[in-house]
Amino acid sequence: MPVKNILYQSVLWRGLFYITVFLLNVLIARHFGAMLSGIVYYLISIYSLILLGTGLSLESGITYFIAKDEIDPGKLLLFSSIWAILVGTLALIICSYFAPQYYDLPGNVLLFSVFTFICGNLLLSYATGFFYAKNNYVVPNSINIIINIVLIVLLPNHMFSIFHFVTNENYFYFYFGSFFLQGLILTIAIKLKYSRHLYLRLPRVQEVKLLMTYCLTAYVSNLVFFFLYRIDYWFVNRYCTAEDLGTYIQVSKIGQLFFVLPTILATVIFPLAAGNKHLLKEVLTLLSRSLLWLYVVICLFLVLFGSSLFPVIFGKSFGKMYGCFLFLIPGIVCLSMLYTLTAYYAGKNRISVNTNGALMALAVVITGDYLFIPKYGINAAALISSIGYLVYLLFVLRIFVKEYDVTWSSFFVMKNADFDLLYNKIINRNKLKNEG
């Protein structure tokens, strides 16, 4: 498949998936309010830490070794599926013995959610890595989109509701169960779609060592990044109200929407740019300043209209979102530029640059959160995160500017010819390939 078609397929289907995720998130927030939705999403952040600790970043190894054709895909599929089931079962056993009923969640949602969310998301991430290695964005995203739409329809007492047996008390069984369903369907879909070339068997010891060695570096970096992006949740949960926690998590989710476009572009741009120093400097600086000013315009719109827009979208219980979002805007802008650079250094197998910058930013965030959140609440959490992301950006920019002899202004100042360059270097993939 031509690279241009891969890019368009990725943008279309991943974009549609994120739209359904955002819509589902908004409807859950409006229906259950800041307090209960905040509790659920905070619980998910805890599960995400467990996923990060136990997932071993196998999805990155799966994508890499399938694309390189160095380990049989059937071996990777069976190994990762067994690992996901074992981790989910172990988490369920531990939780059943040591974890009490969590806050105000109804019934046995906690025990049910532990297995379905953890095992399901591991299966989901591993299967998605398999499809992406095959440049297939249609199958995994279309399945996820359909399940998200079903969750929207199942939401009780809503304009789209048609199933009255779903209530506030049992909805989260469907919600958490959907993750396991997605992972299971995608795992089966891999076998069905690639059955002629896929024979399930366990990898040899040497292949397991090769896989684990590759994943170790990504695992350490992902662990640092997770704490950088989520450690503020813990401080907010400890020092603020449940309603403030729900509000802050929604603000963070809005910020995460800004990184969908950099993620999609980075997966296509940097493999081509890495082999050409002139092209590399030109494309990286162009992409960074273009994303910077695009998000400045979007954030300016939200500054002007967010105070009335956020309560309309999320509900009246999210009245504090606007002020908190204002303090997070600098961080959003910094990360929009940073993402392209960190993706490049990861592609050059220099993840240590990203890790060192993230560690510096994490030290800033932990110190600032400890000192200021108890007194100033979620606004302080947002501002400290922005400062940490700024430190991260300046650290990586300083290294890149020194190594590639570019000016600082090239990352910030738009030029008259930028629109032509965007078309020729990014949108017109055939021309980019010829120049590379």
Same domain, yes or no, for 13 and 125? yes
Which tokens hold the place of 396? 């990586």
229 domain residue, yes or no: no
Residues 266, 318, single domain; the answer is: yes
Amino acid (1-letter code) at residue 368 = G
pLDDT band at residue 154 using 50, 70 and 90 as cut-offs = confident
DSSP-assigned states of every residue in 194-263: TGGG----PPPHHHHHHHHHHHHHHHHHHHHHHHHHHHHHHHHHHHS-HHHHHHHHHHHHHHHHTTHHHH
Q: One-letter amino acid identity for 194? A: Y
C-alpha to C-alpha distance for 417 and 136, rounded to whole angstroms: 34
Q: Select from 203, 221, 251 the last residue of a domain.
A: 203
| 178, 203, 228 - which closes a domain | 203
Does 190 lie in the same domain as 57?
yes
In a domain, 219, yes or no: no
Query: Would the pLDDT of 369 be above 80?
Result: yes
Model confidence band, residue 14 (pLDDT cutoffs 50, 70, 90): confident
Give the count of domains, the chain. 2
- The average confidence (pLDDT) of the chain is 79
For 112-124, what is the mean pLDDT?
87
Report which of 117, 158, 206 is spatially closest to residue 28, judged by C-alpha positions. 158
Same domain as 290, residue 187: no
Q: Of all residues in the chain, what percent are helix, strand and coil, respectively (each to 5)? A: 85, 0, 15
pLDDT band per the 50, 70, 90 thresholds, residue 280: low
Residue 184 sits in the same domain as residue 124: yes
What whole-number distance in Å separates Cα of residue 150 and Cα of residue 159? 14
Q: Is residue 227 in some structural domain?
A: no
| 263 found inside a domain | yes
Instruction: Give the tens place of pLDDT for each residue, 86-116.
Output: 888 888 887 777 655 544 555 577 778 888 8
Residues 345 and 265 in one domain: yes
Q: Would residue 209 count as lying in a domain?
A: no
Long-range (24+ apart) CB contacts under 8 A made by 107-115 are: 107/169, 107/170, 107/173, 109/172, 109/173, 109/176, 110/43, 112/173, 112/176, 112/177, 113/43, 113/47, 113/172, 113/176, 114/47, 114/88, 115/88, 115/89, 115/91, 115/180
Please check whether residue 237 lies inside any domain of the structure.
no
Q: Do 164 and 268 fall into the same domain? A: no
> Worst-scoring range by mean pLDDT, 4-8, 74-78, 140-144, 187-191?
4-8
Same domain, 338 and 258: yes
pTM: 0.69
- Is 374 part of any domain? yes
Give the range with max mean pLDDT: 117-131, 176-190, 281-295, 328-342. 176-190
The closest alpha carbon to 325, from 353, 343, 301, 347, belongs to 301
The conformation of residue 105, written as its DSSP 8-state character, comes to -
**At residue 419, does pLDDT exceed 70?**
no
Label residue 164 by pLDDT band (50, 70, 90). confident
Cα–Cα distance measured from residue 407 to residue 400, given in angstroms and rounded to the nearest whole number: 10
- Confidence band of 416 (pLDDT split at 50, 70, 90): low
DSSP class of residue 406 equals -
Average pLDDT over residues 402-409: 81
The mean pLDDT value for 323-336 works out to 90
Q: In sequence order, which residues have a C-beta less than 8 Å from that of residue 224 and are 6 or more positions away?
A: 355, 358, 359, 362
Q: For residue 353, what are the CA distances in angstroms to 392, 395, 398?
A: 10, 9, 11
pLDDT for residue 147: 93
Query: Is residue 69 within 8 Å of 99, Cβ to Cβ?
Result: no
The position carrying tokens 């690992």 is: 83
Q: Are residues 133 and 25 in the same domain?
A: yes
- Shortest CA distance to 199 belongs to which of 75, 79, 81, 69? 75
Question: Which helix (H) or strand (E) covers residue 123, if one does?
Answer: helix 109-133
The candidate with the shortest Cα–Cα distance to 426, out of 289, 259, 331, is 289
Same domain, 299 and 385: yes
* Between residues 206 and 2, the one the model is more confident about: 206
Q: Are residues 265 and 385 in the same domain?
A: yes
Q: Is residue 292 part of a domain?
A: yes
Cβ atoms of residues 360 and 387 within 8 Å: no
Task: Provide the residue type at 23 as one letter.
Answer: L
Q: How far apart are alpha carbons 8 and 264 in whole angstroms?
A: 10
SS3 162: coil
For the stretch 165-191, what's the b/e string if a residue is b when 16 or more beta carbons lie within 10 angstroms of its beta carbon? ebeeeebbbebbbbbbbbbbbbbebbe
Dihedrals phi, psi of 320, to nearest 5 degrees? -90, 0
The whole domain housing 367 covers 243-436
Nearest to 226 by CA among 248, 262, 252: 252
- Taking CA atoms, 310 is separated from 307, 325, 408, in Å, by 6, 10, 35
Residue 420's pLDDT band (boundaries 50, 70, 90)? low
Distance of CA 316 to the CA centre of its chain: 27
pLDDT at 326: 92
Q: State whether 257 and 148 are in the same domain.
A: no
If you average pLDDT over residues 33-55, what whole number do you get? Answer: 78
- Contact indicator for 49, 226 with CB cutoff of 8 Å: yes
pLDDT digits 0-9 by tens, 178-204: 999 999 999 888 877 765 555 667 777
Domain boundary residue, one of 174, 203, 232: 203
Taking each helix axis from N to C terminus, what angle separates 109-133 and 58-68, rounded to the nearest 10 degrees? 20
